[in-house]
Structure 1
Amino acid sequence: MNQELNPLNDEQAVEIFKALSNQTRVSILQMLKDPEPHFSPEAHVIKDEGFEKGVCVSDIRSKIGMSQSTTSQYLSILQQSGLLEMKRIGQWTYYRRNEETIKLFEKYIGSKI
């Protein structure tokens, strides 16, 4: 199933640019690119269960040093822009990068900007 993904439209790209307009949100994406070096071995980093590289909200909050509400808001903005995926497992909420959207955004920048 190597089907071509639909390209981003200008409105979707603008939402991504808005999400990336904050250094902490950019840092979250950078840490989630390869979570194991950025989070302690005790962190809730999923290695299987179909959500590899997912990191628990509480571990992200601890790493960025912000309140729970600010962390949740930043993660929500990144998710709404399509840059993050979220999954609830039991009582925990995990986030990981949405690599498909990131590739589409790279393609958008390369072809439109």
Structure 2
Amino acid sequence: MDAEADLLAILKALASDKRLQVLAWLKDPRAHFPPQRDGDLVSDGVCGLLIAQKLGLSQPTVHGHMKLLVQAGLVRETRIRQWTFYRRDEGALAAATARLAECL
């Protein structure tokens, strides 16, 4: 992906109140999600099922939202058994913030 496409992917990922809410929750997952049976909330991420429940949306809808965040590089996904866990990529978020500030 070239620089312009990267920036467009970031802007598209941030253009949803639901995705912005998920990013805020993932900043401090222990404060926003209950303990999980599989995977650590911080090191492995939050199970997509918990995110769907908290948003009040279906799993397929949440998967679509998370896919955009992953494609933009703002969130990392980890598979554990049949579940997908999501965590923020702080380095990528800092780079995206700097890039947006540079453009604006």
Structures share fold, TM-score greater than 0.5? yes
Structure 1: which amino acid aligns with 2:63?
A: S
- For 1:101, the equivalent position in structure 2 comes to 92
Contiguous gaps of at least 5 residues in structure 2: none
Two-structure CA RMSD over aligned residues (Å): 2.0
Q: Report if aligned partners of 2:39, 2:80 keep a CA contact under 8 Å in 1.
A: no
TM-score by length of 2: 0.87
Q: Does 1:88 align with 2:79?
A: yes
TM-score by length of 1: 0.81
Structure 1: which amino acid aligns with 2:49?
A: S
Report the secondary structure of 2:31's partner residue: coil
Q: Which has the higher helix share?
A: 2
Q: Does 1:71 align with 2:90?
A: no
Contiguous gaps of at least 5 residues in structure 1: 1-7
- For 1:28, the equivalent position in structure 2 comes to 22
Q: Report if aligned partners of 1:43, 1:59 keep a CA contact under 8 Å in 2.
A: no
Decide which structure has the larger Cα Rg and report it.
1
Change (3 A) 1:76 1:10: same
Once residues 6 and 95 of structure 2 are traced to their aligned partners in structure 1, the CA distance between those partners, rounded to angstroms, is: 10
